[in-house]
Amino acid sequence: MSARRPAAMLAYAPERNPDTLPAEQRARLESLVTLLPAEPVRDFADGDARAHFDELEVLITGWGAPRVTRDVLDAMPRLRLIAHLAGSVKDIVDPCAFERGIAVVTAADANAIPVAEYTLAAILFANKRVLQLRELYRRHRRSLKPLRDHAPGLGNHRKTIGIVGASRIGRRVLALLAPFDFDVLVYDPHLAHDEAARLGVRAVDLDTLVASSDVVSLHAPATGETHHLLDARRLGLLRDGATVINTARASLIDQTALIAELQSGRIDAILDVTDPEPLPPDSPLYELPNVVLTPHVAGAAGGEVDRLVTLVLDELARYANGEPLQHAQRPEMWELQA
Buried-state track 117-126, b at ≥16 Cβ within 10 A, e below 16? ebbbebbebb
Q: How far apart are CA 145 and CA 44, in angstroms?
A: 62
Q: Is the dihedral of CA 203, 230, 265, 208 positive or negative?
A: negative
Active-site annotation holder among 277, 323, 330, 335? 277
Residue 80 known to be catalytic: no
Active-site residue 277, yes or no? yes
Which of 172, 234, 249, 327 is an active site residue? 249
Number of neighbouring beta carbons within 10 Å of residue 336: 17
Single-letter residue type at 8 = A
Distance between CA 241 and CA 324 in Å, rounded? 49
Measured CA angle at 244 (ends 218, 210), to 5 deg: 80
Residues ≥6 apart with Cβ < 8 Å to 5: 31, 32, 33, 34, 320
Q: At what angle do helices 108-127 and 305-320 cross, to 10 degrees?
A: 160
Burial of 304 (0-12, 13-18, 19+ CB in 10 A): middle
Contact present, 68 and 94 (Cβ < 8 Å): yes
Cα 209 to Cα 84, 184, 222, distances in angstroms: 34, 9, 19
Kindly give the pairing relationship between strand 215-218 and strand 160-164: parallel
CA 172 – CA 112 distance, rounded (Å): 7
**Would you mind telling me the total number of residues written for the chain in this entry?**
338
Active site residue 249: yes
Closest CA to 30 of 67, 50, 60: 60
Catalytic residue among 296, 304, 307, 318: 296
Strand, helix or coil for residue 33: coil
Helix (H, G, I), strand (E, B) or coil at 123: helix
Which residues are marked as active site?
249, 277, 296
